[in-house]
């Protein structure tokens, strides 16, 4: 039943509750869709046996009245989350054969709530990238294509596989992570909803670390309501993560559909960048109009240090990554290359195990932390980080949420930014400020480009105020009414 994969997460759960179908049926439908969508390369690993086992167990629970909030829902898991007994590669040769003996906290909570695992989703290697082109498992192809073109486009990154899978109906929802925009930008490129919650809302325990002070897990889904549902299961205090917020998880779903009348929406003038495509500007204006129509007050605000966010990010993130990735050394797990002594083994293992982008960032990170440069680069970047955070603190005295475009363009072609790392970095210009300040940020599909490609708008909220984002996003979702799905060109003709 292919229409089972067209359901939203919420509708699927309702269908399971009203016994229109079983989780096994629902899961099988997705497994079948995955089989015929391999051209997209969204999944690094499919776990059909496990999925059907979990689905069967769910059906038993449901029959005895024991269903959890996500019971029976088949989900995809970004291959950055360690899943016990199931290979976890982080998109890297370094971990090609790594099988964790432990389960990440976020995914344990999904299984606790009854969800079903379809497989591990493709990503940029070690979550470093904006196009999913750096994965050792090959690039992910965006299910969306420009009108009249069969050019392969990127789904964005690093959570490219997650976004593509949700957009193509290969799972009801997917876990993802966001360090500089890796949930929001792929969501925008694929016409899906993605939210990076407040830093500390979701536990980082068991998620392969990239940049500790920036990484956050979050869901990618088809609708705002689905995102609220999934985040509710993913979030929560974890004593095993010292940066995890010791606060109760709000009922995010309750915020969906709430009135936003009287909320003040900030529009930061610095986000109007040179060379911004007219249609993105137009979409932004459209978004403002929707919110005004819903009773919001729109305020122009200033976030003066916006343009320095990207360079600051490209110091802080690589610095932390250079240290977090030191454990990938061939000694206790993962790839071990040949070497005639210890140093050679280290150097060959890491040269062979890591791709070019990861190596670049490790080298930059090591450089900016090294003796003589630490103050000029790393400390300077942390000071700029505080300035950026302070900018938002002032902004919150004038508004309750901020509206910006998510990305400076629609999905671009594979290989387009291959030669210039900096050009690739510029993809995150609208999103990195949010990670630096630790704020919640949500991207929702707001329209299509002239080429028929999805465009997203981003809502940025006060710390801990995911609720307001869900309320605003659900209003905009209704107004935008982006019901189009990508044409499923990828189904193997047989």
Partner 1 sequence: MAIDVATVRKVARLSRIAEPEEVLPALAEQLNGIMQWIEQLAEVDTDGVEPLTSVVNQGLPLREDVVTEGGDASRVLANAPKSVGGFFVVPKVVE
Partner 2 sequence: MTSHIKLIEGRTGTWEIVLGLEVHAQVNSNAKLFSGAAVGFGAGPNEQVSLVDAAMPGMLPVLNKHCVEQAVRTGLGLKAQINLKSRFDRKNYFYPDLPSGYQISQFEFPIVGEGEVEVEHDDGSTFTVRIERLHLEQDAGKSIHDMDPGATYVDLNRAGTALMEIVSKPDMRSPEEASAYVKKLRSILMYLGSCDGDMEKGNLRADVNVSVCRPGAYEKFRETGSFSHLGTRCEIKNVNSYRYIREAIEYEARRQVEILEDGGKIDQETRLFDPNLGETRSMRSKEEAHDYRYFPDPDLLPLVLEQAWIDSIKAGLPELPDEKKARLVSQYGLSPYDAGVLITEGPRADLFEALAKGHDAKLAANTITQSVLTFANAQNAEVTAEGVLHITVPMLTEYLGLIEEGVISSKIAKEVFERMATGEGGPKAIVEKHGLVQVNDTGALEAIIDRLIADNPGQAVAVKEKPQAIGWFVGQVMKETGGKANPGVINGMLKAKLGLE
Q: Catalytic residues, which ones?
A: 78, 158, 182
* Per-position x/- string for 215-254, each x denoting binding to partner 2 as judged by CB under 8 A, each - no binding: ------------------------xxxxx-----------
15 CB-side CA count, 13 A: 21
CB 68 within 8 A of CB 87: no
Q: How far is Cα 62 from Cα 249, in angstroms, rounded to an integer?
A: 24
Say which entry of partner 2, partner 1, none residue 374 contacts (CB below 5 to 8 A, set by partner kind): partner 2
What element of type H or E holds 194? strand 193-196
| 333 forms part of the interface with partner 2 (CB under 8 A) | yes
Q: How far is Cα 488 from Cα 153, in angstroms, rounded to an integer?
A: 14
Nearer to partner 1, 63 or 247 (CB): 247
CB 126 within 8 A of CB 208: yes
Name all contacts of 344-350 with Cβ < 8 Å and 24+ positions apart. 349/94, 350/94
| 360 forms part of the interface with partner 1 (CB under 8 A) | yes
Site for partner 2 in 344-383 (CB under 8 A): 346, 366, 369-371, 374, 378
**C-alpha R_g of the chain:** 21
Which of 173, 191, 206, 268 binds partner 2 (CB under 8 A)? It is: 206
| 366 forms part of the interface with partner 1 (CB under 8 A) | yes
Which of 40, 171, 208, 267 binds partner 2 (CB under 8 A)? It is: 208
Which of 327, 383, 478, 491 binds partner 1 (CB under 8 A)? It is: 383
Q: How far is Cα 31 from Cα 51, in angstroms, rounded to an integer?
A: 9
Which of 351, 393, 415, 484 binds partner 1 (CB under 8 A)? It is: 351
Q: In sequence order, which ranges of 64-156 are alpha helices (DSSP H)?
A: 105-112
Structure tokens at 382: 């942390």
Q: How many residues bind partner 2 (CB under 8 A)?
A: 41
Which of 438, 440, 447, 467 binds partner 1 (CB under 8 A)? It is: 438
Q: How far is Cα 220 from Cα 91, in angstroms, rounded to an integer?
A: 18
Nearer to partner 2, 382 or 482 (CB): 382
Q: How far is Cα 202 from Cα 106, in angstroms, rounded to an integer?
A: 7
Positions in the binding site for partner 1 (CB under 8 A): 97-99, 101, 199-200, 213, 239, 242-243, 245-246, 305, 307-308, 311-312, 314-315, 322, 326, 329-336, 339-348, 350-351, 354, 359-360, 362-364, 366-367, 370, 373, 376-377, 379-387, 389, 420-422, 436-438, 463
């Amino acid at each position: 039943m292919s229409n089972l994969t067209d359901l939203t997460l919420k509708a699927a759960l309702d269908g399971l509750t009203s016994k229109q179908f079983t989780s096994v049926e629902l899961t099988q439908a997705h497994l079948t869709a995955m089989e015929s969508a391999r051209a997209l390369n969204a999944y690094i690993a499919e776990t059909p046996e496990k999925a059907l086992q979990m689905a069967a167990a769910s059906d038993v629970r449901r029959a005895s009245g024991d269903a959890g909030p996500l019971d029976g829902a088949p989900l995809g898991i970004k291959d950055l989350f360690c899943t016990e007994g199931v290979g976890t590669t982080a998109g890297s040769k370094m971990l090609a054969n790594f099988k964790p003996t432990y389960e990440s906290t976020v995914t344990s909570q999904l299984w606790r709530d009854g969800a079903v695992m379809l497989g591990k989703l493709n990503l940029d290697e070690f979550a470093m990238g904006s196009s999913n082109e750096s994965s050792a498992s090959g690039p992910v192809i965006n299910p969306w294509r420009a009108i009249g073109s069969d050019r392969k486009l990127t789904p964005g990154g690093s959570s490219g596989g997650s976004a593509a899978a949700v957009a193509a109906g290969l799972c009801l929802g997917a876990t993802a992570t966001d360090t500089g925009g890796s949930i929001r930008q792929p969501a925008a490129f694929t016409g899906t909803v993605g939210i990076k919650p407040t830093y500390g809302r979701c536990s980082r325990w068991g998620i392969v670390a990239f940049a500790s002070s920036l990484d956050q897990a979050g869901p990618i889904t088809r609708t705002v309501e689905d995102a609220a549902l999934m985040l509710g299961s993913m979030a929560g205090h974890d004593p095993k993560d010292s940066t995890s917020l010791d606060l109760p998880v709000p009922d995010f779903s309750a915020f969906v559909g709430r009135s936003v009348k009287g909320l003040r929406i900030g529009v930061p003038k610095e986000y109007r960048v040179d060379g911004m495509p007219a249609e993105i500007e137009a979409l932004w204006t459209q978004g403002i109009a929707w919110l005004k129509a819903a009773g919001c007050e729109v305020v122009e605000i200033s976030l003066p240090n916006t343009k320095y966010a990207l360079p600051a990010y490209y110091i802080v993130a690589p610095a932390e990554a250079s240290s977090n990735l030191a454990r990938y050394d061939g000694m206790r797990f993962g790839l071990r290359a040949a070497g005639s002594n210890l140093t050679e083994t280290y150097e060959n293992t890491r040269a062979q195990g890591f791709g070019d982008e990861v190596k670049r960032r490790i080298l930059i990170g090591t450089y900016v932390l090294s003796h003589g440069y630490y103050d000029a680069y790393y400390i300077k970047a942390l000071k700029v980080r505080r300035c950026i955070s302070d900018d938002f603190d002032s902004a919150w005295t004038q508004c309750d949420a901020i509206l910006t475009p998510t990305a400076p363009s629609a999905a671009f072609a594979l290989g387009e930014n291959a030669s210039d790392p900096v050009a690739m970095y510029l993809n995150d210009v609208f999103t990195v400020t949010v990670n630096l300040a630790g704020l919640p940020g949500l991207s929702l599909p707001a329209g299509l480009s002239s080429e028929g490609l999805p465009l997203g708008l981003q809502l940025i909220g006060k710390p801990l105020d995911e609720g307001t984002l869900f309320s605003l996003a659900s209003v905009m979702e209704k107004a935008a009414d982006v019901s189009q799905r990508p044409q499923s060109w990828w189904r193997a003709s047989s």
